[in-house]
Homo-oligomer: A and B are copies of this chain.
Amino acid sequence: MGEKHRVVILGGGFGGLNAAQKLKRAPVDVTLIDRRNFHLFQPLMYQVATGSLSPGEIAAPLRGVLSRQKNTQVLLGEAADIDPDAKRVILRDGAVFPYDSLIVATGSQTSYYGKEEWREWAPSLKSIEEATAIRHKILYAFECAERSATEQEARAWLTFVIVGAGATGMELAGALAEIANETLKNDFRRINPREARIILMEGGERVLNNFPEDLSSKAEMLVSRLGVDVKKGVMVTCIDADGVTYKSGQESKSLIAKTVLWAGGVTTNLFGRKLAERTKSETDRSGRIKVSPDLTVSGYPDIFIVGDLALSLGEDGKPLPGVAQVAIQGGAYAAKTIRARQKGKKDTKPFHYFNKGDMAVIGRAAAVANIFGFHLAGLFAWLTWLFVHLIYIVEFQSRVLVFVQWGFEYLTFSRGARLITGVAATDSLEKPGAFRDTGDGR
């Protein structure tokens, strides 16, 4: 055992898990280290946030997924530092892991563009805890509106702002519209949930700006049809307990809203910054580390970076986006390269990203997709989305359950996972800031 090539993988997301699985039959010792004990199916996180799915349904325990892979051990821990010359990773609790090859797949975290204080008022959708916090925030808002003393107060509780109109923002807006218009329509006596205002704010000139322009406009039309008010070209300047202040053109405006959700950008986490520092790597504006064509760090051919932390260029010369497909293929590539090197091959092909397509779901039977240049919108795009997502969910069990749940929900508009948990219910009335049970949001 001890003489085998030691591969340490940091992170059990799409990149890290796929790398581990691709090393199944390789004559190496694999150690997968993650802060959490589960792999998370991130693309469905918005469904947890909007009460369609339970956290357990989009997560698979890493040990379970890898239990039959005898050359691999899973450890719970958080990478804190690295000594790239001595080839050692140091965990936060001081444990040291030497490696022969290292695959860094630690991903990204939400960026508030330097305004960390906004996090308190506008949670993002990066961890399971944040997803449930968002769910609480949304459901509480309706509860508080029902108990409001004045119409003005109820109005503030029934105003929802989503900042950022990328895929996540569109998904949240669409699901929120469905909650207001369908799920809750009979549930209240004093308020009418259908009167909720949902505002989607985007700094750019169009929604889904990584999609072709025609799909952007189709998506905007689809989400507007659900009652979402799309504001483009606005710059958020402040988020606090009362709502959002933003600039539209030269004008500064305020919007009173008790619920603000953040679907903005991402940045690297602490370990990513440490790695860049220790290897003296070049990084981009959001902290991604520039990698060689074979996904290794310049000067350190034994350190691979895959997924959101890597800045690698596609064929068009543009950086590859931070999506699951890039991480999956990067993880598989790193594993393949390690196997090839084991066999004594010196020259390995550079990483080539094969884009299977981009999709964004907007609501019930509504999505847009760009697949091999075919632009789809509406029901067919949605069915494609549904199919692809069901296929990819890691564990068989989750797949069956999610399918049953979706089928039921599609027919009844009900949402099973409408729990408000965490802080005591009544503690939080009137205190949206109290939803900070997101210990590891960052």
Binding site for B on A (CB under 8 A): 34-38, 53-57, 59, 61, 63-64, 67-68, 73-78, 91-93, 95, 128-129, 132, 139-140, 143, 146-147, 184, 186-190, 395, 397-398, 400-401, 404-405, 408, 412, 414, 416-427, 429-430, 437, 439-440
Contacts and interface: CB of A to CB of B under 8 A. Distances in A.
B129 A418 contact: no
A427 B188 CA distance: 41
A387 B401 CA distance: 20
B37 A418 contact: yes
Q: Lowest 4 A-B CB distances belong to which pairs?
A: A56-B417, A54-B54, A424-B440, A63-B187
A414 B38 contact: no
B61 A418 contact: yes
Contacts of A38: 418-420
A59 B426 contact: no
Given A55-B421, A56-B417, A61-B418, A67 B128 contact: no
Nearest to A187: B63
Contacts of A425: 34-37, 76, 78, 440
A186 B439 contact: no
A77 B440 contact: no
A237 B36 CA distance: 35
A391 to B, nearest CB: 18
Contacts of A427: 439-440
A368 B34 CA distance: 41
Nearest to A184: B63
A187 B53 CA distance: 26
A143 B73 CA distance: 11
Given A55-B417, A64-B414, 4 more contacts: A54-B55, A59-B419, A73-B189, A92-B426
Given A186-B67, A187-B64, A426-B93, A147 B76 contact: yes
* Residue among A53, A405, A412 with most chain B CB within 10 A: A405
A151 B78 CA distance: 23
Contact of A64 (B78, B129, B418, B439): B418
Contacts of A404: 400-401, 404
A26 B170 CA distance: 44
A310 to B, nearest CB: 24
A400 B409 CA distance: 12
Contacts of A437: 422, 437
B440 A416 contact: no
User: Which residue, A67, A128, A430, has most C-beta atoms of chain B within 10 A?
Assistant: A67
